[in-house]
Amino acid sequence: MSKTRIMVVDDESILRMDLREMLEEAGYEVAAEANNGDLAIELAAAHQPDLIIMDVKMPGMNGIKASRIIQQSFHIPVLLLTAYSKTELVEKARHAGVVGYLVKPITERDLIPAVEMALAQAERLKELKQELSQLEQKVESQKAINKAKGILMEQYGWNEEEAYSRLRSHCMDRQIKMEEAAAFILKNKRLV
């Protein structure tokens, strides 16, 4: 099993070094390091880490803006580091799609559970997005099948139950999916 890959972004090289040490001792791989938001975006694209630990306050682009761009472009979860825990900052972080938040100074006792929670939350979010996508596909398929059924009712004078039954039989006989038959009916306005 491969190690979880983490990118560390902070303008303080000492803190990056400390974070690297804590993460590597805990069994993580530090895939990349950056000292500003612009470089973080560039390295996120190049390395595609499993998680990014990013400071909020850095020269140039701040961590919240970089997090928003990374989240929208690459869907990589971000755990923010900050010396402040202002409500406004937390709100901005939430809107940027950040999965966790740690207040400096950071200890290994705080860091590792926060990393684990951020990774778990990111995994759950990924699963929910996949489930949502599958549900949306099912809804679209059902809509197409219902439209096809309506066309059959209109074309052949069948009632809804008969149209569905004939459509299902047609699919079973030809060993095709209902969605495929529905697509054909929608395009050609007939069953065969």
DSSP state string for 35-61:
SSHHHHHHHHHHH--SEEEEES--SSS
Q: Is 14 helix (H, G, I), strand (E, B) or coil?
A: helix
163 has pLDDT over 80: yes
Q: What angle do the packed helices 63-74 and 37-47 form, to 10 degrees?
A: 20
| 8 A C-beta contact, residue 70 and residue 64 | no
Compute the distance between CA of residue 104 and CA of residue 91 in angstroms, rounded to an integer: 18
The verdict on 62 and 147 lying in the same domain is no
The verdict on 100 and 11 lying in the same domain is yes
Domain assignment of residue 122, yes or no:
no
Query: Where a domain ends, among 88, 106, 124?
Result: 106
Domain assignment of residue 114, yes or no:
no
Domain assignment of residue 14, yes or no:
yes
The verdict on 9 and 60 lying in the same domain is yes
Domain assignment of residue 123, yes or no:
no
The verdict on 21 and 79 lying in the same domain is yes
Q: To 5 degrees, how large is the angle CA 68–CA 71–CA 75? A: 180
Q: Quote the number of domains for the chain.
A: 2
Query: Where a domain ends, among 90, 106, 122?
Result: 106
The verdict on 74 and 141 lying in the same domain is no
Range of the domain at 181: 132-188
pLDDT in tens, 78-135: 999 988 777 777 788 878 888 888 989 999 999 999 999 999 998 998 899 999 999 9
Q: % helix / strand / coil in the chain, to the nearest 5? A: 60, 15, 25
The verdict on 88 and 141 lying in the same domain is no
Compute the distance between CA of residue 102 and CA of residue 52 in angstroms, rounded to an integer: 13
> Mean pLDDT of all residues in the chain?
93
Is residue 1 very low, low, confident or very high in pLDDT (cuts 50, 70, 90)? Answer: low
Q: What is the CATH number of the domain that holds 168?
A: 1.10.10.10
